[in-house]
């Protein structure tokens, strides 16, 4: 199982400026506290703002708005306003967002599968120290 990632040296050389490196640029954005959770929710069906707020119980309204805006700016989600009273807003994954679910779910599966081993490793490491 040789690593299929391009050599780091090459990547680092090509994208000396971290903000220009695709990996660091994209993954840093998605590595925040809420993006993955929101995308996971939207992977199942479109959600309205309030629904998401209730679903992700411990997110603040401020961060929900902000993270949704960032994901929308990156083109991962689409926002649609319905002129009802009161106006309701629906968020859904864009095609690109849906394509992101594939590698994301691979990571999620990995996390579930190896979580016990990681917990054990942490306990052993703490014991050794």
Q: Decide if 42 contacts 68 (C-beta within 8 A).
A: no
Q: What are phi and psi of 121, to 5 degrees?
A: -60, -40
Among 32, 48, 66, 89, binds a second copy (CB under 8 A): 32
- Binding partner of residue 61 among a second copy, DNA, none, CB under 5 to 8 Å per kind? DNA
Q: Decide if 22 contacts 68 (C-beta within 8 A).
A: no
Among 58, 62, 82, 87, binds a second copy (CB under 8 A): 58
115 contacts: CB under 8 Å, gap ≥ 6: none
Shortest reach from residue 33's CB to DNA, in Å? 3
Summarize as ranges the residues that interact with DNA (CB under 7 A).
Answer: 32-34, 48-50, 58-63, 65, 67-69, 79, 85-89
């Amino acid at each position: 199982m040789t690593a299929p990632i391009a050599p780091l040296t090459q990547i680092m050389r090509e994208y000396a400026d971290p903000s220009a490196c695709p990996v660091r640029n994209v993954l840093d954005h998605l590595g925040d506290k809420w993006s993955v959770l929101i995308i996971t929710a939207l992977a199942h069906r479109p959600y309205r703002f309030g629904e998401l707020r209730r679903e992700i119980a411990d997110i603040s309204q401020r961060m929900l708005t902000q993270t949704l805006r960032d994901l929308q700016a990156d083109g991962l989600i689409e926002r649609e306003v319905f002129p009802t009273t009161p106006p309701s807003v629906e968020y859904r994954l864009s095609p690109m967002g849906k394509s992101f679910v594939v590698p994301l779910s691979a990571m999620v599966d990995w996390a579930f599968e190896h979580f016990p081993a990681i917990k054990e490793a942490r306990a052993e490491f703490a014991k050794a120290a």
